[in-house]
Amino acid sequence: MDATHKKYLRMNKLPHIWCPGCGDGTIMGSFIRAIDRLGYDKDDVAAVSGIGCSGRITGYLDFNTLHTTHGRALAFATGVKMAKPRLKVFVFMGDGDATAIGGNHLIHSCRRNIDITAIIFNNNIYGMTGGQYSPTTPRDKYATTAPYGTTDPHFDIAKLCIGAGASYVARGTSYHAKMLTDLIVAGAEHKGFSVIEIITHCPVNFGRRNELETPVDMLLWQKDHAVRMAKAEKMTADELADRFIIGELHKADIPEYVEEYDRLIERVQRGDTGRG
């Protein structure tokens, strides 16, 4: 391991608990390189996570780290950011964490446009509990709670977040690791609520049950099904049917929540209630 990675890891907490072939380690690597490029002081970074495999990332990262309750990472992170705005706040969630139990916090964080970067590990499954289907598991896939195939339609996380008002939404994969670093950097530099959805892979609890026998098969699936924005714009709906777009999907310049509240404080302290 090189010095850059070592600098941001709690080396005495390694090896990590993730299974061989898991995408989570790749994402952690991309994140570390993003922080290094951003040049943030480690003391000024708060990393907040939920429950599940992705939630364990905060244990390995050498920042101010908060491993919260299932689905609630964004709620805790909102308190952190509001109370100490100078902290750079990153939130790590899984697909079940972010869109099932924590779905309400996700859409409202988007709406508020609070300056937090949310990184969602979307591996289409509840991995830690043994492979139950999640709100992002596609139809007709197999899971321990879908032994005959899933019948539920699934969420498109990026679309959901754009619809809910997030001001920066991007999608990457654990295959396109360099691009992922770029997206995390751009998300962090964006003022407002940024969502980076990462299509990643759970070989043990998703791939094995769904004809993607090895981690390599799963990575190749990502490579073959991901389409960059510029290319997608030239493709027909039919051609895009079973593919997904990667890159920056949405960016808007709208007022950020903490700054707006600070302006309110300043105004109230001047005696201006805003009622003219």
Partner 1 sequence: MANAKLLQGNEACVFGALAAGVRFFAGYPITPSTEIANIFARELPKLGGKFMQMEDEIASMGAVIGASCTGVKAITATSGPGFSLKQENIGFAAEAEIPCVIIDVMRYGPSTGLPTKSSQGDFMQARWGTHGDHAIIVIAPYTAREAYRETGRAVNMSERYRIPVIILMDEILGHLRERVEFKEEDVVTVVDRKGPAPGVPYLPFEDTDDLIPPFAGFGDGYRYHITGLIHDKTGFPTNDPETINQVMRRMNGKLDRYRDEIVKVKYVDVDDADILIIAFGSVARAAEEVVRSMKKAGKRVGLLRPVTLWPFPDKEIRKAASGKKAVIVPEMNLGQMVREVERAVAGEAPIYPLNKIDGELITPHEISDLIKEIL
Interface positions, 98-117, toward partner 1 (CB under 8 A): 104-105, 107-108
Interface residue with partner 1 among 26, 78, 205, 210 (CB under 8 A) is 78
Rule CB under 8 A: say whether 65 interacts with partner 1: yes
| Cα 222 to Cα 230: distance, rounded to the nearest angstrom | 17
Among residues 66 and 177, whose Cβ is nearest to partner 1?
66
| Cα 75 to Cα 77: distance, rounded to the nearest angstrom | 5
| Cα 189 to Cα 170: distance, rounded to the nearest angstrom | 13
Q: For residue 118, with 0-12 CB atoms within 10 Å meaning exposed, 13-18 middle and 19 or more buried, which class applies?
A: buried
| Cα 194 to Cα 187: distance, rounded to the nearest angstrom | 5
| The one segment of 75-83, 131-139, 198-206, 230-238 that binds partner 1 by CB under 8 A | 75-83
Among residues 11 and 240, whose Cβ is nearest to partner 1?
11
| Cα 62 to Cα 149: distance, rounded to the nearest angstrom | 41
Rule CB under 8 A: say whether 13 interacts with partner 1: yes
Rule CB under 8 A: say whether 82 interacts with partner 1: yes
Among residues 217 and 262, whose Cβ is nearest to partner 1?
262
Binding map of partner 1 across residues 210-239, x = CB under 8 A, - = no contact: ------------------------------
Interface residue with partner 1 among 84, 139, 178, 223 (CB under 8 A) is 84
Nearest approach, Cβ of 64 to partner 1 (angstroms)?
A: 4
CA distances from 143 to 138, 146, 202, 213, 235 (A): 11, 5, 12, 14, 32
For tokens 């596609």, name the residue: 138
Interface residue with partner 1 among 19, 66, 100, 177 (CB under 8 A) is 66
First to last CA, the chain: 60
Interface residue with partner 1 among 5, 37, 67, 191 (CB under 8 A) is 67
Specify the pairing of strand 116-122 against strand 125-126. unpaired
Are the CB atoms for 36 and 7 separated by under 8 Å? yes
| Cα 127 to Cα 129: distance, rounded to the nearest angstrom | 6
Rule CB under 8 A: say whether 36 interacts with partner 1: no
Interface residue with partner 1 among 69, 129, 132, 145 (CB under 8 A) is 69
Rule CB under 8 A: say whether 261 interacts with partner 1: yes
Give me the residues that bind partner 1 (CB under 8 A), please.
13, 42-44, 46, 48, 58-59, 62-69, 72, 74-84, 86-87, 104-105, 107-108, 261, 264-265, 268-269
